[in-house]
A and B are shown apart, each in its own frame.
Chain A
């Protein structure tokens, strides 16, 4: 079989494995099956990306050519995102085993089945070239995610899951309405066909309404300010492994869908005729400033990181709002980089929960001495989110500021820098508690985390530095992706 024929299996393998997983007994087998299928998916994507960079790979399901059948279309952009998601899955699953044993002690078969469904849903959204198929996979991943969030042990978990469900369903419905409208106007759901047919009807109110519906629908999914209200609760109350996975993948996929629909389907000309850039510029900036400030106020470190994620979405929105190759490639690079840093940070915090039992900042006191490796990892990943040189965060900030200066948008430069400085405060707050405060009196000494948690965490921390120094993969691929999205190259 050629790479092309393997490509759909990066979605199908986890999807097929999911029901099998649900039936497997015990703890080890379901986890092992999930790990194998996710890793296989990552391996496939690693082979797919180099080919997709040469020219877009197209796979017709059941050999039905579009617009009759469904097409998977992989190019630089979604090959890159797909590889990112699969890799994150393959790093997070080994880490998750211990914490899942603790937090979801029973019926793990079902848990991992849901995890696989959520994973394959995200992969499907990324790889498909069909706008309605995006919706289908969106629902697969969303529904399974709601259940996963509800598995969090606390009493707030079901409520957070319900909130997420309401907002997520609203988003999906808006998206569906938008897709419905453009389907009525053009008679196709294939993205490439849509891109050809939409310009003819671009003047109609219906297309503009569809655009608005789609943007709001995806905006909910990616937690763009002010549509972010579901996110902190969902991240804070979900089981640890789910939090880490969601934080590093779910919003990234939503941004990808946004880029794909806005730039490939609706096209640059249409987008510049709509107030898209202005809206994203303003919302991005407000998101960066407000969410970072809220993050500073949080005493629950999981919530703190969740608000930081909302702020990071703001950076991506800001980068996209420049509608330039520099801006969009900065956004794509930041998606990749943010996945690395936020997954590492959430792993550290969740490891503290695993060892010390609480995500509250007071539980971090004195941990610098008691869990030095975990807290060192937190500080290093924190430096990355601040944007200190040699980390991926620095590369993101540099590209973003370069794009902003090229646009002459000094205001955006200031906001990005202020955002970094706010990150200094919220990361510093945790670091100071861990390293400079004595452990609370009467607490049992907390021990360093087991290797099963430490190794994946440090793999990510090292990745934060590796991709901060060797940026060939991220920057080059992102630039090609941005050129393609903006139609500068075929």
Chain B
């Protein structure tokens, strides 16, 4: 297949999968097989694109012009390639996990769950391959809307309230801030194509550029930079595989991916370096890193704690992107992957604990490591990666970010990273300690061991990825480092 056809296939495959799942709803096993086959096919298609992108072939596809001069256009570059690979791989793993979870936790309405999940993945593929801001916005909104039924899956009062916050914040930011930012870019530059080196040089003054960048950073609500973070804890009412989708596979990743892309391909590092007010956004992202960690420290619900941890980790990426030096940009791109592996492991563990024991609180986990050793070892690996200690994925990205911060003597970023490392240790390590080295307060109501095997298999696999990424990150970093090559 030609690269253009592959791009189309990336977006259409999950949709075909959604249709198949919808039609096969009556036979659960066949339906789940359809999801897995689609996910595997999608990952296969994404790997086919590695070659063309690495060889710098033209990997683009232009469809119809929606508005004069503004087409729906796809173009895959290294960052998008990594995002597409990541999302499709983790979709497969999450699907395996979801089969165990949805049956184990006796959730209702499995068919609509898998259908909307697949549509959301199609949205993520569109975001990854978008060639201009308009196309990106289209799929960004597809992702927002298709995940709303997933967040409200339980259909009780809490789910409705959570869903309202989720949709409210995401649509408020995207329509209220991101859309005008995109139209402003269009009016100023006459194009919204992602171009190496940026499209806004000489088109905007420094102050205007700072305002526009602020609109982008806050408008991309999926990146959850404070004060636009409220939707993420609210969405914790959803079933755990959905949390995995939100936190690792697609949604927040689409957010930070978009910010990184805007910084590199719309503004351009050289241009932003001459925008002094950009510093305030660095401070805002740094504040989010620390503040969200402090809030996470006080959470008693495991999933809410992980949600605040995600908010903090996402702002690492935003912060790194805004440091504006090559090393930090690579760090940002690598951290998208590293955080995804770590956080999906942690969520898988939280869900496994819930399915096996119905426990949702941090203080209930004493001694659980003896009942669920695989789960808690995986949890430990995920936690260590969040803290950023070797031999885990989190260390790799932190290394690049710190190297970048040193390049420009950005001590603010260094202090933020140090503080955050300490805070992360402070809220993750006690859980690990309690789980392995304390005795249970009382015997649980139901005598349980590990969660159903698909869940354990999935979380073991992702935990292994966390370690493997530490060892074999070379090819990915290599691809990622091409994002800074200015056009030939």
Contacts and interface: CB of A to CB of B under 8 A. Distances in A.
B66 A469 contact: yes
Contacts of A406: 187
A428 B149 CA distance: 12
A269 interface: no
A428 B180 contact: no
Interface in B119-169: 134, 137-138, 141, 145, 149, 152, 155, 159-160, 163-164, 167-168
A413 B180 CA distance: 8
A436 B159 contact: yes
B67 interface: yes
Interface in B383-425: none
Contacts of A437: 155, 160
A398 B183 contact: yes
B66 A402 contact: no
Interface in B156-205: 159-160, 163-164, 167-168, 171-172, 175-176, 179-180, 183-184, 186-187
Contacts of B141: 388-389
A436 B171 contact: no
A395 B66 contact: yes
Interface in B57-104: 64-68, 72
A401 B68 CA distance: 15
Interface in A372-403: 383, 386-390, 395, 397-399, 401-402
B213 to A, nearest CB: 17
Nearest to A431: B148
Contacts of A438: 155
B184 A389 contact: no
Nearest to A433: B160
Contacts of B171: 386, 421, 424
B170 to A, nearest CB: 10
Nearest to B182: A398
A417 B179 contact: yes
Classify the interface of chain B: helix, strand, loop or mixed: helix
A193 B56 CA distance: 64
Contact of B67 (A383, A395, A418, A435): A395
A420 interface: yes
A432 B164 CA distance: 9
Nearest to B72: A469
Contacts of B68: 475-476
Contact of B160 (A432, A469, A475): A432
A469 B187 CA distance: 20
Contacts of B159: 436
Nearest to B140: A389
Contact of B64 (A388, A424, A470, A475): A470
Contacts of B176: 417-418, 420-421
Nearest to A406: B187
Contacts of A387: 175
A401 B141 CA distance: 18
Contact of B138 (A390, A401, A417, A475): A390
Contacts of B160: 432, 436-437
Contacts of B72: 469
A402 B183 contact: yes
Interface string B272-299: 0000000000000000000000000000
Nearest to B139: A389
Interface residues of B, number: 30
Contact of A401 (B134, B155, B163, B180): B180
A401 B155 CA distance: 36
Given A436-B152, A471-B66, A475-B68, A401 B183 contact: yes
A405 interface: yes
A254 to B, nearest CB: 27
B180 A436 contact: no
Contacts of B155: 436-438
B183 A386 contact: no
A402 B186 contact: yes
Contact of A436 (B163, B172, B183, B184): B163
A397 B134 CA distance: 13
Contacts of A386: 171, 175
B167 to A, nearest CB: 7
Contacts of B65: 471-472
A378 to B, nearest CB: 14
Contacts of B67: 395, 398-399, 471, 475
A438 B186 CA distance: 45
A233 to B, nearest CB: 30
Contacts of A421: 171-172, 175-176
Nearest to A472: B65
Contacts of B152: 435-436
Contacts of B66: 395, 468-469, 471
Residue among A401, A436, A476 facing the most chain B CB atoms (10 A cut-off): A436
A406 B184 CA distance: 9
B83 to A, nearest CB: 20
Contacts of A476: 68
Given A420-B175, A435-B149, A469 B64 contact: yes
A387 B176 CA distance: 11
Contacts of A475: 67-68
A206 B81 CA distance: 68
A490 B168 CA distance: 47
Interface string B230-242: 0000000000000
A383 B145 contact: yes
B149 to A, nearest CB: 7
B254 to A, nearest CB: 15
Nearest to A390: B138
A417 B179 CA distance: 9
A398 B65 CA distance: 14
A475 B176 CA distance: 24
A402 B187 CA distance: 7
Nearest to B154: A436
Residue among B149, B152, B172, B183 facing the most chain A CB atoms (10 A cut-off): B183
Interface of B: 64-68, 72, 134, 137-138, 141, 145, 149, 152, 155, 159-160, 163-164, 167-168, 171-172, 175-176, 179-180, 183-184, 186-187
6 contacts: A389-B137, A402-B186, A402-B187, A405-B180, A432-B164, A437-B160
Given A388-B145, A395-B66, A435-B149, 5 more contacts: A383-B145, A397-B179, A405-B184, A436-B159, A475-B67
Q: Which 4 A-B pairs have the closest CB atoms?
A: A389-B138, A417-B176, A401-B183, A405-B187
